[in-house]
Amino acid sequence: MLSDWWAALLDIIYPPRCPVCRRPVDAHGAWCPVCLAPVLAGHELNLAGRRLAALASCRVLCDYTAGVKTLLHLLKFRGSTRAAASLAWLLAARPEGLRPEGIQAVVPVPLHPGRLAERGYNQTELIFRSWSERQGWPWLDTLVRTRPTAPQWELTPAARRRNVRGAFALACPETVRGKTILLVDDIVTTGATMNECAKVLRRGGAARVLGLALAGGDYGR
Ligand SMILES: [Zn+2]
């Protein structure tokens, strides 16, 4: 009762606004239709054409453009953790294709410890973790990056594969053994990073690895 009252009062003091253009919207965290329309462009990566054999599938929810690009930049390079909630709202805005069958755990693509210390958080965790747990899927932070890698967006497709080869390891293989894993990342470009992580998970005994990225585009970093 009191919390309802507080929520109503807070709505008056801080009315919900679109995180991109600040137009008034119905609920906190929601995007207005004008900002949502250009970014919603879900598709499957064509795995066969990209030598990504370790992934069973790889779904991309949005184009890396407009509001998605702005908010991801704020989250990754300006320390704005509030942007994560606005990006996570997009997961709920795209229910189709977001209930893959048989998922038993969710594993994020990890940052190198140096990058993690510098940023203070893994942006992929801030975007996906609450959503994953609401689906009833345990969050397994079990992949580790064993060496720093150059940003993928600077490289050609062949160089991207070389850049990430052998860059990941599994901390606790027993947690993924025999399971269907949803591997999540903020941005997918060629899919080389996702596929390298999927390879490590499969080698550790995971039965299947499905990829899911918030955004796809050629300018990811
Ligand atoms: Zn807007």
- At residue 99 the predicted structure's pLDDT band, cuts being 50, 70 and 90, is low
For the chain, how many structural domains are there in total? Answer: 2
Each residue of 132-165: pLDDT tens digit?
999 999 999 999 999 888 888 788 888 888 899 9
Ligand 1 centroid from CA 135, angstroms: 27
Q: Give yes or no: residues 18 and 88 share one domain.
A: no
Domain assignment of residue 68, yes or no: yes
Domain assignment of residue 166, yes or no: yes
Q: Give yes or no: residues 20 and 98 share one domain.
A: no
Q: Which domain holds residue 30?
A: 1-37
Mean pLDDT estimate for the chain: 89
- Please tell me the least confidently modeled range out of 2-6, 109-113, 209-213, 216-220: 216-220
Q: Give yes or no: residues 18 and 102 share one domain.
A: no
Ligand 1 centroid from CA 136, angstroms: 31
Domain assignment of residue 127, yes or no: yes
What is the share, in percent, of the chain residues with pLDDT greater than 70?
A: 95
If one compares 89 and 94, the residue with the highest pLDDT of the two is 89
Ligand 1 centroid from CA 91, angstroms: 17
pTM, full prediction? 0.90
Q: Give yes or no: residues 11 and 85 share one domain.
A: no
Q: Give yes or no: residues 32 and 52 share one domain.
A: no
Domain assignment of residue 221, yes or no: no
Mean pLDDT of 112-131: 95
Ligand 1 centroid from CA 70, angstroms: 12
Q: Give yes or no: residues 18 and 85 share one domain.
A: no
190 touches 50 (CB < 8 A): yes
Ligand 1 centroid from CA 72, angstroms: 15
H/E stretch holding 40 reads: strand 40-44
Other residues' Cβ atoms within 10 Å of the Cβ of residue 60: 23
